[in-house]
Structure 1
């Protein structure tokens, strides 16, 4: 059986926002902390990670979401830097969404309901809209990393219009994941 590592996301396709996010990510990498940075072309807001599922199920998801995911274009503002789980032991470094979070949560809820109707179990953790910039692999140079994160905590990265949601495939390679769009659900004008 052909399994596909699948997730649903909003791409950050505004070049100004993307370059600001990449600039901060590169600055964090410059601290020489043990980071696994997200490649610029892979920067996105994950609405739902699904995992490895058969391609036939992926097609079912695309068909179902085309019917259930009806939304008007809306603006999100990318602002602030944060970490999961906390600043003393950062594992994930992310940029926050300060405007448009309600709309993203609504999309997530519709996706969740749709997936459940297709037999995909719900996620346990609360959905927090964010953009992962890097993962922290060890505590090497942690203090300089924390200082750098604190420096960018209130950074404004800009705004962009969300007018499509993508079901994506993630192919894991040694040099990092490669993402391909499987289907695109466009906003209704």
Structure 2
């Protein structure tokens, strides 16, 4: 076991930290392919808010607001997760929760989905023991846009349906990160607090 990066964290911080555990997307070609699809999504004239390509990631577990003291406790939990670096294939488009009421546009995950679920299932009981509310459901995906209203909904749904098998590419999942999310009018800023690679 090794620490691949100790992260940026001030122990004197007193405010609650909005946080999540994730794998980052660090393949520039894949990020560019996602950005190209986002441009096509905007051409549907649906009311979308795109996720900035630099912010796209695979969320394993959203933690919500945690105390600075909890950061180290979550990190200790992360270091107990057993996995070996694995490949993830990003393929397909879809929406949550349904095509009749799309609120999120996502890129799908085929290869690697089982390993991601295993990591979630290892983390979940340990995070619950720390006092975090349970999150029983896990869907492996990348959020690439959020739907703000029903404007041109059918055009959006038609586009997503036509691209259900779209292939974005592959990434290597080798470093699990605890991320801080700071919200602003310009959109969220994500900072790595801790990293763990087995």
TM class, shorter-chain normalised?
Answer: over 0.9
Deviation at 1:176, TM superposition (A): 0.6
Matched with 1:33 is 46
Runs of 4+ in structure 1 deviating by more than 2 angstroms, as ranges, are none
Deviation at 1:169, TM superposition (A): 0.3
Matched with 2:129 is 117
Residue pairs, 1:85-100, within 5 angstroms? 85-100=97-112
Larger deviation: 101-110 or 142-151?
Answer: 142-151
Three-state SS of the structure 2 residue aligned to 1:139 is: coil
Matched with 1:148 is 159
1:82 to 76, 94, 102: 94
RMSD: 1.1
Count of aligned positions? 185
Q: TM-score, normalised by structure 2?
A: 0.90
1:178 to 178, 186, 189: 189
Deviation at 1:63, TM superposition (A): 2.4
Deviations 1:130-167 (A, max 9, x none): 00011111011112212221222110111111001100
Q: 1:4 and 1:176 mapped to 2: Cα distance?
A: 16
Three-state SS of the structure 2 residue aligned to 1:82 is: strand
Unpaired segments of 5 or more residues in structure 1? none
Unpaired segments of 5 or more residues in structure 2? 1-13
Q: 2:175 and 2:125 mapped to 1: Cα distance?
A: 19
Q: 2:39 and 2:123 mapped to 1: Cα distance?
A: 33
Contact conserved, 2:77 with 2:123, CA < 8 A, in 1?
no
